[in-house]
Amino acid sequence: MYEHLLFSTVNAIASIVINRPAVRNALNASTLEELSDAVERVRVDDSIRAAIITGSGDRAFVAGADIGEITGLNRSEGESFARRGQAVFNSIEFLGKPVIAAVNGYALGGGCELAMACTLRIASENAVFGQPEVKLGIIPGYGGTQRLPRLVGKGHALEMLLTGQLISAAEAHRIGLVNRVVASSELLPAADEMAKKIMANAPQAVRFCMEAVHRGLDTTQEQGQLLEAEFFGECCVTDDMVEGTRAFLEKRAPGFKGK
């Protein structure tokens, strides 16, 4: 179905693999379009509870945007180029279902931005992260200047953005860019395990948690708490809340239905 992606679903988990190994899985316009379509498939399919995004091979997650498509852009074209990538990555961040980035090598430029758009990030020991755009005379355009400081803080973000230097998986974990670092052979199993841990919980509660965090970060703490209270109330009228509390009192595993 796709030229540059591999898409499959097993046990309610969608696997989206960026499949351009000859160019280290660089993102060109057609790959972004396919990624957008794959994410929409995950969104509308109620049988899919989570997704894992990774790159083909063991050298690169996504080594950046296709530089050949950037050369020669004028101001208007450059802005449109950035906005299109931002829209695709926003659709991942605000999908309403957990998306785990399994970072299996170079995650540079647009690749780092793609990983940051995911809900959680698990990296192999050989993963390398960076936003080296300043070395090309540009800045990140797919959300990097906004997501990076929110994840790692202003100081760490500015150091990465202004120097363009690459960092190891261990350093990415130290500053909070990734959640876990595992051996390369354990990367996909670890991502699958993480997805299953999330999927064991009430789907609507998971969605409300993510939305409360996303929207709350753009407000004051007081406003965020009002939002949290609103979502808490929404949870209280779900069948899953009844099932979850009843299962706890009855000392059994809950059987959530997402209702």
Quote the pLDDT of residue 65.
Answer: 81
Q: Are residues 124 and 77 in the same domain?
A: yes
Average pLDDT estimate for 73-88: 95
Rounded CA-CA distance 259/112 in Å is 35
For this structure, is 228 an active site residue? no
Q: Does pLDDT of 97 surpass 90?
A: yes
Q: Are residues 48 and 17 in the same domain?
A: yes
Contact indicator for 36, 186 with CB cutoff of 8 Å: no
Q: Are residues 147 and 211 in the same domain?
A: no
Q: Are residues 95 and 28 in the same domain?
A: yes
- Record the pTM: 0.94
For this structure, is 113 an active site residue? yes
Domain annotation covers residue 256: no
Domain annotation covers residue 258: no
Q: Which of 33, 40, 113, 171 is catalytic?
A: 113
Find the CATH number of the domain harbouring 158: 3.90.226.10
Average pLDDT estimate for 121-149: 97
Q: Are residues 123 and 54 in the same domain?
A: yes
Task: Please say which residue of 183, 199, 215 terminates a domain.
Answer: 199
- The whole domain housing 213 covers 203-249
User: What is the number of structural domains in the chain?
Assistant: 2
Q: Which of 40, 77, 93, 133 is catalytic?
A: 133
**Residue pLDDT, tens place only, 11-24:** 999 999 999 999 99
Quote the pLDDT of residue 67.
Answer: 83
Domain annotation covers residue 255: no
Q: Are residues 127 and 243 in the same domain?
A: no
Q: Are residues 195 and 208 in the same domain?
A: no
Q: Are residues 207 and 235 in the same domain?
A: yes
